[in-house]
Structure 1
């Protein structure tokens, strides 16, 4: 094997928290629902923005009341909560934005994550226990009556629809510019995009290589969206659409493709389902073909905060998506790759925001 990662960050291997810090963090967890709701209101009512605008001299509640036309009580109770959360600090009755407040207000990834949690996950989080018991996304009832969220992605109610796709695209799109030279290194003529979603990677391929043909594989409801987006960009003769439910035991993938690409797709499935999908890839792929898997593995992250975000995202899969998948530990995932009859030829970390690309070939 070549270009295979061997070093992993040392995350979650010790307990450095003091007893006092642990007690404080325990209270943060205990009051976490109110921490989240108050933080979002401080952001979305424009309170943090006004505090930021007065960064030099600070701002009083009375001045905020005049600027925002919000009741004095609303401002007082939210700002006092913001003190404990550490989004703001206070000197002589004037409020100032903290470093935490700055990043919560302005950091693009934090905004995407927060909107996703509020609009897609928050109501369903109360059904975590039942979801784990049943192996079903019991929290999904708050958004629709589908068996999995994937059946309803294109028709999710707002603001869940926008927040879901903003979340998904923020992470995947950032990896595409770095991924394309890796995918096209062998000058493939035909690329299969499984889990094509809205067609963004397909469009990236079509623009990157003016000769390549891309076959999109997904549920029909998603292919409808992807086809609309691709045709709007003037592409048609280099694209084919293949309706397929990869979980259907009788389904087969189209053949004749040099490369199979899956981005943030296999994390949507349980262990045995991943093996089954990869076996379908094995069957459809020529002997000299390759599978490219673009995933976010929590154990491959450079920073603990990034790993934490992925671990929490696993709970979204439990309660809202399908009840049985997750953001994987790479060691677990690589065992599934082996079971499916593939070996890893390239293993490249730190692409985009937090991605790893695995390149597979048949054993």
Structure 2
């Protein structure tokens, strides 16, 4: 694949664009082999398509053609006798691999993928196509589909460690209580409290979401240092924290809704407090960046958005905060905000 901005001859340009147009075929093929757990079945070995197909209960010829495509995409290596083994990219589909993307694939498949057939609706209206396809907003739909909600929470938890490194590696001296706003099943807070035994935590999310947190917090040995609170962050968030965390929350919402969440946090934040926002920050250039992909996905799925640093400064100012610092991470950035005008 050519680098962005590199001039292409007409034939090469035609092939390049055709490849991108047909990219959904690659995505769906990855979804299929992920569902079949081909990466786990291969492990560190080379195996014949015949054996894999028999084990999975699928058509051997169709599986061969799927793996052949993904070998060309760098996920597998094809041997001369119809056998396949994992390449470095394919290793990330293994459920137990460090940095595994197995659950992320599940997150991008299913109901999330189907809404992209109606993405033009989002471009025309600025509204999420999910509501059009499924008849209700995404989080309402998850509340009515517990199996999908479990998969969603599992996928979010699988991404916590990598995207949360800037937050986990922060200096937590002088902090007593952390409030994780929209903290889901407690994976992030459990990880943080396990690493920082002096901290106490408050896990806050919708009542049906935090019901899954008991087991995670107990398993991590931090349940006795955590208060679980169910509620609606558009109405209010719990008081009593020194630091409030919004980790991958605000990108789910449009400007008006994000302002509502931030204003709820502002009411709860003490003068000495800090608001920590963990999100991707879109570079203000025309180079490829994962946040630009995620930005459109947030629009189509939720009506939300990713934001540039300029966007973040404006949003925070409108809600009574001042952006104090931005720390770039490999997966996400950590932004620290304080009450605007408060003495520091």
What TM-score comes out, normalization by structure 1 length? 0.73
Greater relative contact order structure (CA < 8 Å, 6+ sep): 1
Matched, 1:348 2:333: no
- Alignment check: 8 A CA contact 1:88 1:96 kept: no
What is the rounded CA distance, in whole Å, between the counterparts of 2:74 and 2:207 in structure 1? 46
Alpha-carbon distance between aligned partners in 2 of 1:157 and 1:241, rounded to the nearest angstrom: 20
Could you report, residue by residue, the CA deviation over 1:322-346 in whole angstroms, capped at 9, with x for unpaired residues? 2x21222232222212222222223
**Aligned-partner Cα distance in 1 for 2:190–2:42:** 40
| Alpha-carbon distance, 1:207 to partner | 2.8
Q: CA deviation at 1:167?
A: 3.4
Aligned length: 326
Q: Does 1:262 align with 2:246?
A: yes
Q: Structure 1: where are the runs of 5+ without partners?
A: 1-12
Q: Quote the offset at 1:154 in angstroms.
A: 6.1
Judged with a 3 Å threshold, the aligned counterparts in structure 2 of structure 1 residues 209 and 23 are, in CA distance, closer, same or farther, namely same
How many Å separate the matches in 2 of 1:193 and 1:71?
47
1:103/1:116 CA distance change after superposition, 3 Å: farther
Q: Is the 8 A contact 1:192 1:215 kept in 2?
A: yes
> Residue 131 of structure 1 contacts residue 139 of structure 1 at CA under 8 Å; is this kept in 2?
no
SS, match of residue 299 in structure 1: coil
Counterpart CA distance in 2 for 1:134 and 1:174 is: 34
From 49, 57, 64, the counterpart of 1:64: 49
Q: Within 2, Cα distance between the matches of 1:204 and 1:46?
A: 27
The SS at the match of 1:291 is strand
Task: Tell me: CA distance 1:43–1:283, structure 2 relative to 1, closer, same or farther (3 Å).
Answer: closer
Is contact 2:153–2:184 with CA below 8 Å preserved after alignment? no
Report what 1:318 is aligned to.
299
Cα displacement (A) at 1:238: 3.6
Please report how far the alpha carbon of residue 349 of structure 1 lies from its aligned counterpart in structure 2 after TM superposition.
Answer: 0.9
**1:137 pairs with 2:125:** no
What CA RMSD, in Å, does the superposition of the two structures yield over aligned residues? 3.7
Of the three residues 113, 117, 125, the one matched with 2:116 is 125
| 1:176-219 Cα distance to aligned partner (Å, 9 max, x none) | 4552352513x222222111111123223433444433222222
Q: Secondary structure at the match of 1:334?
A: helix
Show the 5 A alignment for 1:254-333: 254-299=238-283, 304=288, 307-308=289-290, 310-320=291-301, 322=302, 324-333=303-312
169-178 or 264-273: bigger deviation: 169-178
Structure 2 CA distance for aligned equivalents of residues 216 and 327 of structure 1 = 24
Is the partner of 2:240 in helix, strand or coil? coil
TM-score normalized with structure 2 length: 0.77
Aligned to 1:222: 209
**2:258 alignment partner, SS class:** helix
In the TM superposition, residue 231 of structure 1 has moved relative to its aligned partner by 4.8
Q: Does the 8 Å CA contact 1:104/1:110 hold for their aligned counterparts?
A: no
Whole-Å Cα distance in 1 between the matches of residues 52 and 265 of structure 2? 59
Distance in 2, Cα, partners of 1:334 & 1:113: 30
1:23, CA displacement in angstroms?
A: 1.6
